[in-house]
Amino acid sequence: MNTIEVGQGAENQKVELFFQDIGHGQPVVLIHGWPVSHAMWEHQMLTLPAHGLRVIAYDRRGFGNSSKPWEGYDYDTFADDLKALLDQLDLQDVVLVGFSMGGGEVARYMSRHGGARVKKVAFISAVTPFMRKTADNPDGVDDSVFQQMIDGLKKDRPDFLNTFGKHFFNVGMLRHPVSDATLEWTRGLALPASPKATIDCVRAFSGTDFREDLKSISVPVLVVHGDADQTVPIKASGALTAKALPGAQYKVYDGAPHGLYITHKDDLNRDLVSFIKG
């Protein structure tokens, strides 16, 4: 397996990230969402290398095939893990693509590490700039929603993930944009994660304010969001991220759910290739 060491956990245990490295050309680093793994990018890993791009997709600590330490599930650590990946693979002119909570890694990396090695960034259904509703963030999500997620994970994580997957793709009684097999596959990507990491990451992506981080971004930016996203509502996220980055390309997918990397994969692949190559 391809792994890199990014640090040490309790009792000096190594923390390693698993990654896939496919294709040749300009490097594109795909950062997955919660609560799945790098494998969510299946359609992008099939398409982008065919356009002369080198695609690196990795599992965040605590998820997929990466190490699952007890601690370290905060965005400073995630950004440092990303830096270790870019440094150890000696990547240059990188395009960072962050989906959902992965958008937070992009924003925090750009501010914490000065955007080193990065040429462009893309926020896909991202949690930026700030998910939690506060007095100065009235369009955010009430904290009780995130607490209900944590309570559901503690009570019955497999059942919570089953229900969450349906919201992820806007599956309902009269609407089924993905197959039952895809729902099961998505849950299968989430189940191997550390329960501790899964819970701690809810706290991280709901409570981390990226508004100042976004101000540090000076490279070209792509923002993609679905206007039917029930998981990360566009009004609180994509729209405000685009507003904070006035030079960004802003693509709103009509009727798209959170998991648009599957439901609108052809649109996303086309827009990513156009942005990266443009």
Given 32, 38, 225, 258, which residue is catalytic?
258
Given 67, 100, 125, 194, which residue is catalytic?
100
Distance CA 218, CA 211 (A): 14
Distance CA 12, CA 131 (A): 34
Q: Active site includes 258?
A: yes
108, containing H or E segment:
helix 102-112
Given 59, 200, 229, 271, which residue is catalytic?
229
> Which residues are CB-contacts of 93 (< 8 A; sequence separation ≥ 6)?
26, 27, 117, 119
How many residues are listed for the chain in this entry? 278
Could you give the C-alpha distances from 36 to 29, 134, 139, 193, 274, in angstroms and in order?
Answer: 16, 28, 26, 8, 26
> Which residues are tagged catalytic?
100, 229, 258
